Amino acid sequence: MSLPNLDATDPTRTMVGWRYHLTKPCPAVLAECAGGENVFRSLLIPKDQLITVTGGPFNRARWVDITWHLKPYMMFIEHLRNCGRKV
């Protein structure tokens, strides 16, 4: 049995443009390049916030790119589904 192709170019598989209202705090990751090094920071986005999916999922990855307050973050799809509802 093979897994379905989760290529982001397939409009039936992408979540780009989907908006979520968080019903509880949700973990996310901020990735930045500071001083030539990649820096990763984790945080909790508070409940009652709106986020937008801007990329993904890609190649069976378990995460998507999101924006919150116009800043880019990454979030696991499972966390997004457990912490929010699609609007």
Residue 41 belongs to a domain: yes
pTM above 0.85, yes or no: no
Residue 5 belongs to a domain: no
Residue 38 belongs to a domain: yes
pLDDT digit string, tens, across residues 15-63:
899 999 999 999 999 987 777 788 888 999 999 999 999 998 876 778 9
Structural domain span for residue 41: 19-86
Instruction: Determine the Cα–Cα distance for residues 11 and 31; give it in Å rounded to an integer.
Output: 26
Res 69: pLDDT: 94
CB 61 within 8 A of CB 14: no
Instruction: Determine the Cα–Cα distance for residues 75 and 60; give it in Å rounded to an integer.
Output: 14
